[in-house]
Structure 1
Amino acid sequence: MLDLAASAAVAPARDPRPQEPHPHPHRRGRHAARRAHAAPDEQGSTPRLAALIPAHNEQDRVAAAIEGLWAQNRRPDLIVVAADNCTDATAAVAAAHGAQVFVTQGNAHKKAGALNQAIAWILPHLDDLDLLLVQDADTVLNPWFTETALATFNRRVGAVGGVFYGEEGGGVLGFLQRMEFHRYAWELERTGGKAQVLTGTGTMFRARVLREVRTARRTGVIGGGNGYYSLASLTEDDEMTKAVKTLGYRAMSPAGCAVTTEVMPTLGKLWHQRLRWQRGALENLRDYGWTRVTARYFLQQFLMGFGALAFLAYLSFMISFTALYGWPGFSPFWTSIGLIFVVEKTVSVRRAGPTAVLVAALMIPEMLYDLFQHAVYFTSLWGLFRRSEEKWVAT
């Protein structure tokens, strides 16, 4: 049994000084720094912040994730790494970088199961208005993440998620993913930071909200088992978003909550990642059904499918027509439509730099990338229709 006394930084007694739950010989010298100003909660007191990193064989990545947390303007009071079925040095690396290590016991439910065990261990030591940040081990938060998230919370906001950007590398495929992530960030900003998904790369929750989610699962208000995260979903972060919103809370992703996460270096890895994301999103909608919360998600999926079909129909028509009758010639109407499309594509990635703008203007690379995404969508839809089992593949 793990010693809960090690989590003194989140014990009921409030200490205004930053504390080290798992002292490291060099930690205080390097990080004994100032405590950044945290936003007061509804009762005027300063909420405590714990950070949780689920990790399965992440010895090469977890150190950077932990150091990113120590470098926050508002440092966490406690960092916990949930070492889940690890066969490498993840736990040792985490401890060496000043994190408290929680080792899961008999977990057969992947990331969601690890999170449920660790949250059940941490949450009894948090008050309702305290906060828990859940972050992937392959992600580094920008230094303003926690400070921005704390300032975003109010009575209506139950969780604040990150805005993810791709790390460098991965060649052309990695570059196209970074363009995609920049475009997603641009869309979030246009909607005022309303989160579409409380991304697993980094999301901060009110402790009270997590307790309410578990109660709602246990009473049958929402599905997913008896824990905090759903054990039945391929995409536990997407399902958690719908759970939080179903309970009447807002979910936000402000621009200041940027995170840098890995990109998939090969088509095979990208295929498995996106198939899990897409299939999970469709299954979550099937399980929740049509509600005031899911209506916009159903509409998004419909528009995604309609757009994919329209794009494929257009390509098929142009290829067939050109093969039979030659190039159809210049059309002012369709050219103007195409120009609008190109302008939107280039403007939405301008912050990614001039190379991204040039690639977007060329259209062909992203058209091929879109065809890949369409293949993922229709494969997921077909698998859902056939009720085939989608197995977890490590990426």
Structure 2
Amino acid sequence: MAARGKATGNGAARHKQARDPRAHWLFLALTLPVLFGALLFQGWTENEVDGSKIKQDCTRPVPAAAADAGPVLTVNGDGARSTSMPAGTVALTYDGGPDPYWTPRLLALLKKHRAHATFFLEGADAAQYPDLVRQIRAEGHEIGSHSYTGADLGNASGVRRALELRLTQGAFAGADGFRTKLLRMPMTTTVATLCGAEWPAAQRASEHGYTLVAADRSHRKPAHGLVRQFSLTSLAYRETQQLLADPGARRFTTISAGTGATEPAMTEVGAPQRWLGTALIWFQQLGRSSVSALTWVLTIAAALGLIRLFTLVLFARAHVRRLERERPGAPRLRQITDPVTVLVPAYNEEAGIGGTLRSLLASTHQRLQILVIDDGSTDRTVEIAEGYAERDPRVQVLCQPNAGKAAALNHGLAYTRSPYVVMVDADTVFEADAIERLIQPLAHPAVGAVSGNTKVGNRTRLLGRWQHLEYVFGFNLDRRMFEVLECMPTVPGAIGAFRLDSLMGVGGLSEDTLAEDTDLTMALWRAGWRVVYEENAIAWTEVPTTLRQLWRQRYRWCYGTLQAMWKHRRAVREVGHAGRFGRRGLSYLLLFQVLLPLLAPVIDVFMLYSVLFTDSPVKSVVTWVGFLAVQIAVAAYALRLDGESRRPLWALPFQLLVYRQLMYLVVLQSVVAFVTGSRLKWQRMHRSGTAAAAAQHIGGPHDRRSLTVTR
């Protein structure tokens, strides 16, 4: 969400008893594991994981005792009990599928000739096309197992082999309520191909009650009795036609009927097995649908992300050119030298209030009325502020019972004696010329508010560097674009200037939301005022130093922004400045700061899936690295525009891996809280008063252009 000032109070009474919602954790706990499990299952069934799609060369032949075994057999040690088809009987068998194209055509051909066959189906395909499984069985054909994925069972691990067989039975149970004892080992044909590792696998399958079905040698004719094996191809269809017309074949039947089995190969299962099978089918469909949907989502999200980055650069450059045209040799508006009232709301700010007041009193714009509004502090905030008031008459201290930041600012507005108002957070340190530069755009009669440039003071540690990059790369580039598009959504509470009459015209600051600065800015747009960005008005702020503090701060920002967006949603239908702001600003916030972040955890899970399971993991990694390179390039440009060193860019990849995830979870929690109607309490950040020292250490005032700026 757009950068803004920190909370300075523990909230109005209606927020004090609120609790952080926990529904988002339940949502994540229920959805992400299920989604990841479905994707993992889909990756396992669709790709080579702990299995092989290629038949391994045999290291040893089948045992001699089984060398002459018939095509229908059970394996027992090195021997086998087997049978063959009687003379004139042909068992047509088809491996794989069901296939939505070839299976119906083969069924129609067999029905035309009143022939029956045995279909060895793969469990994954059976789960995908359960209607075809039911059709095969309804037309009197027999169904056997071809494993779940068609992977080589001989060279698979024991766990993989057991799952291949068990899941196939589950798919059959879910599709039509049956299980089968017929099995054709994938990638085998005749008994001779059950060589090497296939023979022990066949033995274990027999121990679990399976009857193995191979194919007769190619020289065997229908007149002798034949088990013929086909795949689901056009060649299989043509050869089936030829066999059905062979005069030596008097009977076309299933494996069980041809061998005269006393027990049926397919048996009904109970309700629990049906339910588990149905759940398996749903789970696989979820995985398949998720892959399809997320492929589109990831593509669209990546495209939108790249479009956003390039758009930010284009509008940032347009913003720079606009200011360059307006400065040297351009007609200038008068320079504002009128008195300015500075409002400093404070709640337990003893660590930073002194540095803030010192920086304000050192301002090059000396005609100041500085109002410190204490919001019921329990520390030495009032004592420190009154010390400055005793030494300088420009400082005045106002006190009120704790009521929140918006109430404190409205209290200060009642004592304002100047036509221009600057709002400052009590932990913010202004550069000497910041106020003077900040108020100049207000010389234009249409401008009602000006956003300054907030910089991170405590940026020496990794978390501070991440926030520094976010302020420069994210917030400030956004502000440049927002000014060009005339849809600035937030004047940050840390440094913002306003016309007093614009504030009074909208009734001051509203206490309806926790993002009082965003709410106020949106109200100004709807009242017909323009809001601009003054990049050279710089203030240094202290950002959270722990993940817990950062979470609380951003949670309030995001939740408050959602409140403000909902409150001002009708702006999209209005005309003029209000409609322009609504259609551009609110749409941008909704798309890039609400919807895409909500999808980010799912996208990250899918990216992991792409690396682990797709046929081109290198392509996924290269795509991610390419996107990162574009972000680094845009961040470098943003740092250059802000006059900042590009050394912190080394931290950007780590920001994308850790910090970004935290921000996405904040958005999710905020949306859940907003949708469920939870009330969020004010969260105060612990201050250490490091902004002033950090600003001096970083390098002091930046180079500036001419003070006077027309807009």
| TM-score normalised according to structure 1 size | 0.77
| Distance in 2, Cα, partners of 1:170 & 1:56 | 26
Counterpart in 1 of 2:617?
328
Counterpart in 2 of 1:28?
none
Deviation at 1:271, TM superposition (A): 0.4
| Distance in 1, Cα, partners of 2:430 & 2:557 | 22
Residue 666 of structure 2 aligns to a residue whose secondary structure is helix
Deviation at 1:192, TM superposition (A): 5.0
Indicate if the aligned counterparts of 1:75 and 1:146 stay in contact, CA closer than 8 A. no
Residue 275 of structure 1 aligns to a residue whose secondary structure is helix
- Amino acid of the structure 2 residue aligned with 1:119: L
| Equivalent residue in structure 2 for 1:295, among 583, 586, 602 | 583
| Equivalent residue in structure 2 for 1:116, among 410, 432, 440 | 410
| Equivalent residue in structure 2 for 1:178, among 468, 478, 501 | 468
Matched, 1:382 2:642: no
| Distance in 1, Cα, partners of 2:659 & 2:623 | 26
Q: 1:313 to 1:47 in 2, by over 3 A?
A: same
Q: 1:167 to 1:135 in 2, by over 3 A?
A: same
Indicate if the aligned counterparts of 2:338 and 2:367 stay in contact, CA closer than 8 A. no
Indicate if the aligned counterparts of 2:386 and 2:397 stay in contact, CA closer than 8 A. no
| Equivalent residue in structure 2 for 1:161, among 422, 442, 451 | 451
Counterpart in 2 of 1:188?
479
| Distance in 1, Cα, partners of 2:460 & 2:631 | 27
Matched, 1:67 2:355: no
Q: List per-residue Cα deviations over 1:152-180 (Å, max 9, x = no partner).
A: 11100011122111112562111111111
Q: List per-residue Cα deviations over 1:123-142 (Å, max 9, x = no partner).
A: xx34xxx2121111100112
| Equivalent residue in structure 2 for 1:359, among 641, 647, 651 | 651
| Equivalent residue in structure 1 for 2:398, among 103, 108, 121 | 103
Residue 51 of structure 1 aligns to a residue whose secondary structure is strand
Counterpart in 2 of 1:344?
634
Indicate if the aligned counterparts of 2:425 and 2:494 stay in contact, CA closer than 8 A. yes
Q: Which has the larger radius of gyration?
A: 2
| Distance in 2, Cα, partners of 1:380 & 1:116 | 27
- Amino acid of the structure 2 residue aligned with 1:316: V
Q: 1:150 to 1:39 in 2, by over 3 A?
A: farther
Q: 1:40 to 1:136 in 2, by over 3 A?
A: same
Q: 1:264 to 1:336 in 2, by over 3 A?
A: closer
Q: List per-residue Cα deviations over 1:49-80 (Å, max 9, x = no partner).
A: 12121111212211111111112111243212
Q: List per-residue Cα deviations over 1:192-250 (Å, max 9, x = no partner).
A: 57643111002121121122111xxxxxxxxxxxxx11112101111110111111111
Residue 147 of structure 1 aligns to a residue whose secondary structure is helix
Q: List per-residue Cα deviations over 1:52-111 (Å, max 9, x = no partner).
A: 211112122111111111121112432121122122222222232235333333x34211
Map residues 214-363 of structure 1 onto 2, 5 A cutoff: 214=507, 228-291=508-571, 292=579, 293-299=581-587, 300-309=589-598, 311-324=600-613, 328-330=617-619, 336-337=626-627, 339-350=629-640, 351-360=643-652, 363=653
Counterpart in 1 of 2:368?
77
| Distance in 1, Cα, partners of 2:682 & 2:338 | 36
| Distance in 2, Cα, partners of 1:237 & 1:306 | 22
Q: CA RMSD in A?
A: 2.5
Map residues 139-158 of structure 1 onto 2, 5 A cutoff: 139-153=428-442, 154-158=444-448
- Amino acid of the structure 1 residue aligned with 2:682: W
| Unaligned stretches of 5+ residues in structure 1 | 1-37, 215-227
Q: List per-residue Cα deviations over 1:264-317 (Å, max 9, x = no partner).
A: 000111001000000000011111223123333331222334433554344222
Matched, 1:55 2:346: yes
Residue 329 of structure 1 aligns to a residue whose secondary structure is helix
- Amino acid of the structure 1 residue aligned with 2:505: E
| Distance in 2, Cα, partners of 1:198 & 1:391 | 22
Matched, 1:205 2:498: yes
| TM-score normalised according to structure 2 size | 0.44
Residue 200 of structure 1 aligns to a residue whose secondary structure is coil
Residue 67 of structure 1 aligns to a residue whose secondary structure is helix
Residue 290 of structure 1 aligns to a residue whose secondary structure is helix
Residue 257 of structure 1 aligns to a residue whose secondary structure is strand
| Unaligned stretches of 5+ residues in structure 2 | 1-332, 572-578, 686-711
Counterpart in 2 of 1:18?
none
Counterpart in 2 of 1:218?
none
* Structure with more contact order per residue of length (Cα contacts < 8 Å, sep ≥ 6): 2
Residue 181 of structure 1 aligns to a residue whose secondary structure is helix
Residue 445 of structure 2 aligns to a residue whose secondary structure is coil
Map residues 1-12 of structure 1 onto 2, 5 A cutoff: none
| Distance in 1, Cα, partners of 2:515 & 2:464 | 22
- Amino acid of the structure 2 residue aligned with 1:52: L
Q: List per-residue Cα deviations over 1:320-352 (Å, max 9, x = no partner).
A: 244346862247777655543442244334554
Counterpart in 1 of 2:426?
137
Q: 1:336 to 1:268 in 2, by over 3 A?
A: closer
Indicate if the aligned counterparts of 1:166 and 1:261 stay in contact, CA closer than 8 A. yes
Map residues 36-51 of structure 1 onto 2, 5 A cutoff: 39-40=334-335, 46-51=337-342
Deviation at 1:191, TM superposition (A): 5.2
Q: 1:354 to 1:134 in 2, by over 3 A?
A: closer
Counterpart in 1 of 2:73?
none
Indicate if the aligned counterparts of 1:54 and 1:84 stay in contact, CA closer than 8 A. yes
Residue 551 of structure 2 aligns to a residue whose secondary structure is helix
- Amino acid of the structure 2 residue aligned with 1:212: G
- Amino acid of the structure 2 residue aligned with 1:163: N
Percent identity of paired positions between Structure 1 and Structure 2:
23
Q: 1:229 to 1:383 in 2, by over 3 A?
A: same
Residue 490 of structure 2 aligns to a residue whose secondary structure is coil
Q: 1:392 to 1:70 in 2, by over 3 A?
A: same
Residue 276 of structure 1 aligns to a residue whose secondary structure is helix
> Which deviates the most, 72-81 or 322-331?
322-331
> Which deviates the most, 257-266 or 182-191?
182-191
